[in-house]
Amino acid sequence: MTSKFDHTVYTLRRARLASQLGAQGVAIIPTAPEQQRNRDSNFLYRHDSYFYYLTGFTEPNATLIIFADGRTVLFCQPKDVEREIWDGYRLGPESAVQVLGVTNAYSNVLIDTEMPKFLENIPTLWYPFSIHKGLSVQIDNWLTVVQSKVRSGVSAPHRLNDVCSLIDEMRLIKDSHEIELMRTAGRISANAHIRAMQFCSTNIRNKNQIFEYHLDAELLYEFRRCGSEFPAYSSIVASGSNACVLHYRADKASINDGELVLIDAGCEYSSYAGDITRTFPANGRFSRAQRALYDVVLESQYAAVSSTRSGALFTDPHNAALRVLCKGLLDLGILKADKCGSVDDVIANKDYFPFYMHRTSHWLGMDVHDCGAYSEPNSLAQNSAPSPRVLRTGMVLTIEPGLYIRPSADVPVEYHNMGIRIEDDALVGDSACELLTRDVPVDPIEIENLMN
């Protein structure tokens, strides 16, 4: 936590949440636990996104309480010289009030004795459902203490609500602070893709043997060089047929002249994710067949991008992309018109599914698959079928159509084992969307130019 830290944006978010808790409601929001990797080593620590959204605080072992009247309490790690020598600086409750702007702060060793007092005469308790292992047991224990005082006139919470249902709606619309960070995450991620592409073609041209993990290293270098804390998710670097495995990672396969390479990678910058996929020829020149398939995916992405704006449905970009992909599959003879019929028939019968089996978009934010319902909340409350979310200015979603052609007797052999996906991050605006990740091009000529 640096001295530059400004809590204003987090304090305003806490106030907005407080105003939604109902009369005398209380919300409890813990951060993430540390995770053991093996023996006495932990995974690199990553705070909980909900907790961070409301505090900007990155230490483990902390819990935030928000009261409907706007008061806030933080339990955090106490100052401890010996632990700080081993594990690093702790803010401590004494400084937390001023630095984080909370009303009160306590050492987390007091949480079990202090928490029940905060829950007396509170009708509604909000907490994140099914995220933190053990939290509901802990809450149960606190409630038991409150209930033991009922005969002395204290009332215990009788309604438990999922606080994520409120924070999800807030997180779905990015504020200007978040958009700035997402622009940076997008820019760094894009530059990392360019670096990996150029590294790849240079080494293929020089006849150096390279492996997928070499490109992974180039991505990571650029992320960290630019101040990113971690990759936002495990980078996918898939050469040749590996691109047809959707959740492949950057593994040990060699990258060969004449193959395509698919990279799906993005950095996390100040807790916000970038998420980019590019597919490029290892040697820097598309073959005729590679280009033909690539152009179909690119055209489908353009169609999806131009249907992404405030007022459109979440499913509109997907449907726009799907139509172009199906037409392309028919035009290239991967689907046969005499067997499958028209584009409408292909869509209705899902004949595209062996080649395009995922959705075109997901929300993006602090989490790479960010929170937020994909259906309109009021449609979920009614008994009708859920209706797709209406896009609003400030939402951020990925646009990532693809085609994956596994070998099969009825598919032209020139397309076998190709996997192509093109993914950008779109900030929804009033009449269009802004792509945050186009510092790395998608145009095949521009890709060839930067690789040669």
The set of catalytic residues is: 40, 247, 264, 275, 358, 362, 369, 400, 404, 421, 423
Q: How far apart are the first and last CA of the chain?
A: 43
The dihedrals phi and psi of 268, each to the nearest 5 degrees, come to: -105, 125
Distance of closest approach, residue 362 Cβ to Mn ion, in angstroms = 6
Question: % helix / strand / coil in the chain, to the nearest 5?
Answer: 40, 20, 40
**Stretch of 160-168, 247-255, 272-280, 301-309 contacting Mn ion, by CB under 5 A:** 272-280
Among 275, 351, 370, 424, binds Mn ion (CB under 5 A): 275
What are the DSSP E strand ranges found in 173-235?
A: 210-211, 230-231
Minimum separation from the CB atom of position 246 to Mn ion (A): 11
Which residue, 35 or 234, has its beta carbon nearer to Mn ion? Answer: 234
| SS3 category, 8 | helix
CB 107, min distance to Mn ion, A? 40
274 vs 328, beta carbon nearer Mn ion = 274
Q: How far is the CB of 275 from Mn ion (least distance, A)?
A: 4
Biggest distance spanned by C-alpha atoms of the chain: 82
Q: Please check whether residue 47 is in contact with residue 63, taking contact to mean a CB–CB distance below 8 angstroms.
A: no
In terms of CB distance, is 283 or 300 closer to Mn ion?
300
CA nearest neighbour of 186 among 7, 356, 389, 433: 433
Q: Specify the residue, 4 or 247, whose C-beta has the smaller distance to Mn ion.
A: 247
Rounded to a whole number of angstroms, the minimum distance from the CB of residue 369 to Mn ion is 8
Instruction: Sketch the per residue contact string, 98 through 137, with Mn ion: x for CB under 5 A, - otherwise.
Output: ----------------------------------------
Residue closer to Mn ion, measured from CB, 59 or 275: 275
- Distance between CA 156 and CA 150 in Å, rounded? 7
Total residues contacting Mn ion by CB under 5 A comes to: 2
User: Which lies closer to Mn ion via its Cβ, residue 316 or residue 425?
Assistant: 425
CA distance 140 to 127: 12
Size (the chain), residues: 452
For the bound state, the minimum distance from the C-beta of residue 325 to Mn ion, rounded and expressed in Å, comes to: 17
Q: Which part of the chain contacts Mn ion (CB under 5 A), choosing from 32-40, 73-81, 267-275, 351-359?
A: 267-275
24 and 123 in contact (C-beta within 8 Å)?
Answer: yes
The one segment of 113-121, 191-199, 249-257, 397-405 that binds Mn ion by CB under 5 A: 397-405
In 333-437, DSSP assigns E strands to 396-399, 402-405, 418-421, 424-428, 433-435
Torsion of CA 107, 6, 369, 139, to 10 degrees: 20
Taking CB under 5 A as the binding criterion, the range among 312-320, 379-387, 390-398, 432-440 that sits at the site for Mn ion is: 390-398
Q: How far is the CB of 359 from Mn ion (least distance, A)?
A: 10
Contacts of residue 267, Cβ cutoff 8 Å, sequence gap at least 6 = 185, 188, 189, 192, 223, 226, 228, 230, 231, 232, 273, 274
Which residue number, 91 or 368, has a Cβ lying nearer to Mn ion?
368
| Angle at the Cα of 134 from the Cα atoms of 129 and 135, rounded to 5 degrees | 50
Interacting span for Mn ion (CB under 5 A) from 63-71, 137-145, 275-283, 438-446: 275-283
Among 108, 241, 283, 398, binds Mn ion (CB under 5 A): 398
- Kindly list the residues in this chain that would bind Mn ion in the complex (CB under 5 A): 275, 398
